[in-house]
Amino acid sequence: MKQPAEPRSRRKLPARYAAVIMPLTLSVLMTFVVSAIATLKSLGPTPAFIATWPAAWAISWVVAFPTLLAVLPLVRRIVALVVETPRPN
């Protein structure tokens, strides 16, 4: 009888890539939603929306990703000023 194959574990990127992967993922998701809402509000649910939205998303992502990379250190500092750091147990 053939035994079930063990699930293959996916290789993960090293932790040092988190500083780029997080803003990359955030910029993709945020621009996807925001550009869809803005384009839908502007054009309505028409065939023009489907034709226009990918370009609108691409342009917004090209701006958003480098912006996130640039402002993330500042945002972390602002958050550190506003949010209490956890106390060690």
Ranges of each domain in the chain: 18-81
What is residue 8's predicted lDDT score, i.e. its pLDDT? 73
| 39: CB partners within 8 A, 6+ apart | 49, 52, 53, 56
More confident residue, 64 or 85: 64
Contact of 31 with 64, CB cutoff 8 Å: yes
Task: Give me the percent of the chain exceeding a pLDDT of 90.
Answer: 82
What is residue 40's predicted lDDT score, i.e. its pLDDT? 96
What is residue 5's predicted lDDT score, i.e. its pLDDT? 66
Distance CA 68, CA 66 (A): 5
What is residue 1's predicted lDDT score, i.e. its pLDDT? 63
What is residue 76's predicted lDDT score, i.e. its pLDDT? 92
Distance CA 49, CA 35 (A): 11
Contact of 42 with 76, CB cutoff 8 Å: no
Dump pLDDT digits (tens) for 28-59. 999 999 999 999 999 999 999 999 999 999 99
pLDDT exceeds cutoff 70 at 84: yes
Question: Coil, strand or helix: which one is 13?
Answer: coil
Distance CA 79, CA 70 (A): 16
